[in-house]
Amino acid sequence: MVMPVLKTTHVTHEGDITFVQINPHNRSHYDLWMEKFCANFSEDITDSGHTVIDMASLDWLPQPMLTTIMEIHHQKKSEGHRLILVGVHDDIMNFLSLVKMNKVFEIAENDAEAVNMINGL
């Protein structure tokens, strides 16, 4: 059996900001995709300053992904950097509000708003 190639994120760097776009895949490969996401995500952004995570392509937020994002949030905060979520769908925002995570994460509508937040504008 040939295992599919699953690229979990697309990462770009602009100055001291890393932009991460999460690439969801067919849920039939969910376990493999989630394992790869959790293993590689922190490596993708380890040496960066601030991080902006684009969640626009996600319509669901699995617990392992939330845990990984929380770990990165705490790491960034301890380093004096910020992690900002952008493009969060209503269902995910409602979930984050329900579990009070909307008070933990900084959330912006888009990359431009996130950059303004980082730059204090």
Arithmetic mean of pLDDT, 28-46: 68
Contacts of 77 (CB under 8 A, 6+ apart): 83
Whether residue 65 is contained in a domain is answered as: yes
The pLDDT of residue 113 is 97
Arithmetic mean of pLDDT, 40-52: 75
Whether residue 59 is contained in a domain is answered as: yes
Q: What percent of the chain has pLDDT over 70?
A: 79
For the packed helices 30-45 and 63-78, what is the interaxial angle rounded to 10 degrees? 10
- Domain of 22, CATH number, reads 3.30.750.24
> Quick check: 86 and 110 in contact, CB under 8 A?
yes
The pLDDT of residue 27 is 59
Residue-wise pLDDT tens digits, 75-91 = 899 999 999 999 999 99
Arithmetic mean of pLDDT, 69-73: 90
Whether residue 1 is contained in a domain is answered as: no
Q: Is the pTM of this model over 0.75?
A: yes
Whether residue 4 is contained in a domain is answered as: no
Label residue 67 exposed, middle or buried (CB < 10 Å: 0-12, 13-18, 19+): exposed
Cα–Cα dist 14/5, whole Å: 27
Is pLDDT of 25 > 70? no
Whether residue 3 is contained in a domain is answered as: no
